[in-house]
């Protein structure tokens, strides 16, 4: 183990395909989380072939819509905010340090705004399955903004029987297929009218300096 500035270099205790050191912070210093070699393989083709994954769920909208059929976007954002601690990547950015200072890092977004990630979009008439899938295809054509955490969640209203579509997309570097499904399940409840957890205060850690 070797001390380097505020960090120690330690060798991973488990075998990996490529030798990859792990940075462990000294007490009082936030650890650096570098992308793995596999994650970086999902990152570089973005310019030609976007590497995001998505999932669609159709929800019972009885507790998501008010009596006039308007989506309760404020309540939904509050519920999601109360669970973001369970998915740290949803408040982190991809940071590429200067050359010779290592590979890309996950760092906390200095000005995270949930309204940039969770939105509602009414489906065009007649609000059937064909319109739902067409709208999702249009959303998938939008590239994820690298200046923000690489995910978004859309609630698609206008389906029959007060149902609501939920389309979630995230970069493949955040999660693969099965992990992506588990991530989305974090924000779902098996029973209606579940009481949201308390919204915890969150303070982003500073981006590492060149010396760190």
Catalytic residues: 172
Q: Indicate the SS3 state at residue 74.
A: helix
Helices (H), 68-193: 73-81, 129-140, 177-185
Token output for 94: 């991809």
Q: Which residue has the tokens 């008439």?
A: 125
Distances (CA, A) of 87 to 71, 110, 174, 180: 24, 17, 10, 11
| Residues whose CB is less than 8 angstroms from the CB of residue 110 and which lie 6 or more positions away in sequence, other chains included | 204, 206, 207
Are 153 and 167 in contact, with CB atoms under 8 Å apart?
Answer: yes
């Amino acid at each position: 183990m070797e001390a380097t500035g505020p960090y120690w270099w330690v060798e991973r205790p488990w075998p990996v395909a490529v030798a990859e050191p792990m940075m462990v912070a000294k007490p009082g210093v936030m650890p650096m989380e570098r992308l793995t070699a596999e994650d970086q393989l999902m990152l570089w083709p973005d310019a030609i072939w976007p590497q995001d994954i998505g999932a669609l769920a159709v929800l019972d909208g009885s507790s998501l819509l008010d009596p006039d059929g308007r989506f309760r976007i404020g309540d939904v954002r509050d519920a999601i905010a109360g669970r973001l601690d369970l998915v740290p990547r949803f408040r982190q950015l991809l940071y590429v340090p200067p050359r010779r200072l290592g590979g890309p890092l996950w760092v906390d977004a200095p000005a995270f705004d949930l309204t940039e990630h969770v939105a509602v979009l009414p489906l065009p008439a007649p609000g059937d399955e064909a319109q739902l899938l067409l709208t999702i295809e249009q959303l998938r054509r939008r590239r994820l903004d690298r200046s923000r955490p690489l995910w978004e969640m859309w609630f698609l209203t206008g389906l029959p029987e007060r149902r609501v579509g939920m389309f979630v997309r995230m970069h493949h570097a955040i999660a693969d297929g099965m992990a992506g499904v588990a991530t989305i399940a974090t924000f779902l409840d098996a029973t209606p009218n579940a009481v949201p957890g308390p919204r915890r205060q969150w303070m982003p850690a500073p981006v590492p300096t060149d010396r760190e």
